[in-house]
C-alpha cells in the first residue's frame, strides 16, 4: 500500500486525488473536512490548528498500517492543515483507492474516525462574539 502523509499550512483535495489515482483501482473514496461557519448555533470566524508534528505523522502512519492490515487498499493519503483556517477552508483530507468500492468506504471512514480520536492535532475556535475555545 502506498501512503502519503502531510501536515502543512495548505493542503488540497487535488493532491490527494492525484496520489491515489491508479488504473488498477476502480473505487476511490475521499473524505474532506472543512471549517464550518457555525458550531452549535454560534457563528465561527476562524479556527487555529496546531500539531505535535512528529508524533502526529507517526500516529497517521499507524492508522495507515492498520488500514493495510484490515483491508486490501492500494493507496491512502491523509492530509491535515495547520494554522489559521476560515469557514469553507479545508482542514483535513483522507483519500483511499481500492479495486472494489465497499472496502474503500470502510477504510476511509475508519481512517478519519481514528485520526480525529488519536492524532495529536488541536483546534482553537474563534467565535464572532469574541470568545475563543
Partner 1 sequence: MGLLLFGVAKDIAGQSILTLPEGITTVGELKSWLLATYPGLQQLNSLMIAVNREYAVDNQPIATSDEIAVIPPVSGG
Q: Which chain residues interact with a copy of itself by CB under 8 A? A: 13, 17, 21-38, 87-88, 99, 101-102, 104-105, 108-109, 112
Least distance from partner 1 to the Cβ atom of residue 68, Å: 20
When asked if residue 11 is in the footprint of partner 1 (CB under 8 A), the reply is: no
Among 10, 54, 65, 72, binds partner 1 (CB under 8 A): 54
Q: Cell numbers at residue 131, please?
A: 470568545
Distance CA 72, CA 129 (A): 47
Which does residue 54 bind out of partner 1, a copy of itself, none, counting CB within 5 to 8 angstroms by kind? Answer: partner 1
- Please report whether residue 118 would count as binding partner 1 according to CB under 8 A: yes
Task: Please give the size of the binding site for partner 1, defined by CB under 8 A.
Answer: 23
Q: Is 87 in the site for partner 1 (CB under 8 A)?
A: no
Specify the residue, 35 or 56, whose C-beta has the smaller distance to a copy of itself.
35
Cα radius of gyration (the chain)? 15
Report how far apart the first and last C-alpha atoms of the chain are (Å, whole number).
38
For residue 38, how many C-alpha atoms fall within 13 Å in the half-sphere facing its CB? 2
CB of 131 to partner 1, least distance (A): 14
Q: Which does 19 bind (CB under 5 to 8 A by kind): partner 1, a copy of itself, none?
A: none
Nearest to 85 by CA among 115, 122, 111: 122
C-alpha cell read off for 111 = 481512517
- CA-CA distance, 4 to 74, in Å (whole number)? 12
Amino acid at each position: 500500500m502506498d501512503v502519503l502523509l502531510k501536515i502543512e499550512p495548505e493542503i488540497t483535495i487535488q493532491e490527494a486525488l492525484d496520489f491515489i489515482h491508479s488504473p488498477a483501482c476502480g473505487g476511490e473514496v475521499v473524505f474532506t473536512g472543512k471549517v464550518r461557519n457555525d458550531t452549535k448555533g454560534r457563528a465561527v470566524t476562524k479556527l487555529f490548528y496546531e500539531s505535535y508534528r512528529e508524533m502526529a505523522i507517526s500516529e497517521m502512519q499507524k492508522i495507515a498500517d492498520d488500514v493495510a492490515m484490515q483491508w486490501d487498499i492500494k493507496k491512502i493519503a491523509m492530509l491535515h492543515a495547520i494554522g489559521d483556517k476560515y469557514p469553507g477552508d479545508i482542514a483535513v483530507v483522507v483519500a483511499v483507492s481500492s479495486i472494489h468500492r465497499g472496502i474503500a468506504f470502510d477504510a476511509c471512514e475508519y481512517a478519519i474516525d481514528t485520526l480525529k480520536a488519536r492524532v495529536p492535532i488541536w483546534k482553537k475556535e474563534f467565535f464572532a462574539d469574541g470568545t475563543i475555545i
